[in-house]
Amino acid sequence: MTASAINIKKTPPVLRGGLPYLGYALELQRNPIGFLQRGQEQFGEIFSFLLAGSNVTFLTGSKGNEAFFRAPDDQFSQKEAYQFTVPIFGKGIAYDTTPDRMSEQLGFIFPALREERMQAYAQFMAKETQDYFDTWRESGEVDLLAAMNELTVFIASRCLIGHEFRQHLSTEFASLYHDLEGGINLLAFFQPYLPLPTFRRRDKARTRMVELISQIITNRRAKGNQGEDFLQALINARYADGTVLSEDNITGLLLTLLFAGQHTSAVLAAWTGILLLQHPQYLPAIMTEQQAVFGNSHTFSLEQLRQLVILERSIKEAERLRPPLIMLMRKILRDFEYNGYHVKAGGLAMVSPAVSHRLSEFSSPNQYDPERFSPERAEDRKSPYTLIGFGGGRHRCIGQAFAYQQIKVIWSVLLRQYDLELVHNNYEPDYTTFVVGPRQPCLIRYRRKYKSY
């Protein structure tokens, strides 16, 4: 055996086939979980495949997830992988700036998620939720995902951008936000600047969004108003070098936080309800908990919401079975070693919460069982990288607590005030969107129990 042969390093097994250049792009768009599960069943916790000209290395299981999330930024880069967000968040924001500047921007965001702010948010969330459901008739049918999208936009804008912005929230804003969301898809991941109608609408929507937020900033400055919201914090913010944030930068950071606080929350809220209504045997314990925590109270506090541990298990089980983000990617900047395999720089690394969450690390992984998260079982505590619906390790989403809090508020109000049932037999995931909710229409039937509690 020659010395050169000895030095040849083992590379991950390759899933052969697919189309020239595109590889498995079409199958990944049609049925991403089925495709990735097929590869995992054939090769185990690591394999590679071709995707739109790029070599993708897929890692799965808690150890594969840990390797993915713990890789340093100069080895696995989010910045290069998530350039499709730049047209939405803007130049110089998040994945379009240096690591140091991005850290400063995260520093601007953290105060919006501190304990004292979350206390205030509980009341804002409760009011927005109650006001929204007060517009429903005594009985009827509603598209649950559409309702959750509307409501979480109202909640996130009130909590994160403020009362003034929420008052001016109009059908125009809802339309603009929808056009921005339309710019997030698998094609945008690889070619975010193609001259397509979807991307043109995205760009026009962002330009108009800057105009709307700039008007609020101008009015505040002209009147000397000081808001108590995240928008005011950004108006007052300074980078370490003393630079103030431009109105375009402020809009970008607001959109970054709004997307983090709304999109995945809406989808997870919808799945939480669908799965609970599909498994009604878990509802009595939740209703008993509701009575024990709230009684006949009309208010919500952060402490009360934290006591809803049984409802939280159902949210967590929805995150496990139907994670809003089914694939997470990084650009591989430096060669990578994992489990005896050598992965070369230049391609993409991928993990999938939807695949990892259905491995045998969870008991009966395809079965809906919120009690797997009870203190006695605590299946998600086996590893910090077992449940990764909101990322893992230092890359865990900073908005997870906000998302869980608003979902608890929404379903506390809904379950206490309405009798609910599903209209369809099946509620399947819609893989045409980047954040995977139920395919629409996903109708539920409601009947009001009483007008107020």
Residue 2 falls in which region: left (phi positive, over 0), alpha (psi -120 to 50) or beta: beta
Reported as a pLDDT band with limits 50, 70 and 90, residue 451 is low
Residue 299 sits at φ, ψ, to 5 deg, of -120, 160
The predicted pLDDT at position 212 comes to 83
The owner of tokens 């060669």 is 335
Share of the chain above pLDDT 70, in %: 95
Mean pLDDT value of segment 77-81: 86
Give Cβ neighbours of residue 426 (< 8 Å, ≥ 6 apart). Answer: none
The CA distance from 415 to 409, in Å, is 10
Looking at the predicted structure, is the pLDDT value of residue 204 above 70? yes
Q: Residue 228 has what pLDDT?
A: 66
135 CA to centre of own chain: 27
pLDDT of 441 reads: 94
Distance CA 385, CA 383 (A): 5
Residue 157 has pLDDT above 50, yes or no: yes
Beta-carbon contacts of residue 315 (< 8 Å; ≥ 6 apart) = 268, 272, 404, 407, 408
Per-residue pLDDT, averaged over 194-214, amounts to: 90
Q: Which two tokens mark 43?
A: 């090769």
Using an 8 Å Cβ cutoff, are 441 and 143 in contact? yes
pLDDT tens digits for range 248-278: 888 888 888 787 768 899 999 999 999 999 9
Least confident stretch, 105-114, 166-175, 194-203: 166-175
Phi-psi region of 445 (alpha: psi -120 to 50; beta: other; left: phi over 0): beta
Predicted local distance difference test score (pLDDT) of residue 321: 98
For 401-448, write each residue's pLDDT tens digit.
899 999 999 999 999 999 999 999 899 999 888 889 999 999 999 999
**Mean pLDDT confidence for 109-118:** 82
Whether residue 174 has pLDDT greater than 80: no
pLDDT at 95 > cutoff 70:
yes
Q: Tell me the mean pLDDT in the region 190-210.
A: 90
Give me the chain's average pLDDT, please.
89
Q: pLDDT grade, residue 4 (50/70/90)? A: very low
Query: Is residue 187 over pLDDT 80?
Result: no
Q: What is the DSSP string of 28-84?
A: HHH-HHHHHHHHHHHH-SEEEEEETTEEEEEE-HHHHHHHHHHS-TTTEEHHHHTGG
**Separation of CA 200 from chain center:** 24
**Confidence check: pLDDT of 162 > 80:** no
Q: Model confidence at 453, in pLDDT bands (50, 70, 90)? A: very low
Report the alpha-carbon distance of residue 448 to residue 418 in Å, rounded: 4
Rounded Cα gap, residues 68 and 284, in angstroms: 40
Per DSSP, the three-state class of 26 is: helix
Question: Helix 309-321 crosses helix 247-278 at what angle (to 10 degrees)?
Answer: 100
Cβ contacts of 141 within 8 Å, gap of 6 or more: 423, 443, 444, 445, 446
> What is the distance between the alpha carbons of residues 374 and 15, in angstroms, rounded to a whole number?
38
Highest mean pLDDT of the ranges 20-24, 91-95, 176-180, 332-336: 332-336
Mean pLDDT of 330-337: 95
CA angle (330, 354, 157) in 5-degree steps: 75
Q: What is the mean pLDDT of residues 150-170?
A: 79
In Å, how far are 16, 139, 152 from 135, measured between CA atoms?
54, 11, 15
Q: How many CB atoms neighbour CB 233 within 10 A?
A: 18
For residue 241, count CB atoms less than 10 angstroms from its CB and return exposed for 0-12, middle for 13-18, buried for 19 or more: exposed
pTM strictly above 0.85? yes
Query: What is d(CA 24, CA 434) in angstroms, rounded to the nearest whole number?
Result: 17
- Is 53:59 a contact under the CB 8 Å cutoff? no
For residue 231, CA distances in Å to 125, 128, 166, 214, 258 come to 18, 19, 12, 11, 11
* CA dihedral over 118, 165, 324, 49, signed as positive or negative: negative
From CA 144, how far away is CA 138, in angstroms rounded?
Answer: 16
pLDDT digits (tens, 9 = 90+) for 271-304: 999 999 999 999 999 999 999 999 988 789 999 9
Structure tokens at 88: 């939405």
For 11-67, the pLDDT digits (tens) are 999 998 888 888 898 898 889 999 999 999 999 999 999 998 899 999 999 999 999
The reported pLDDT for the residue numbered 226 is 67
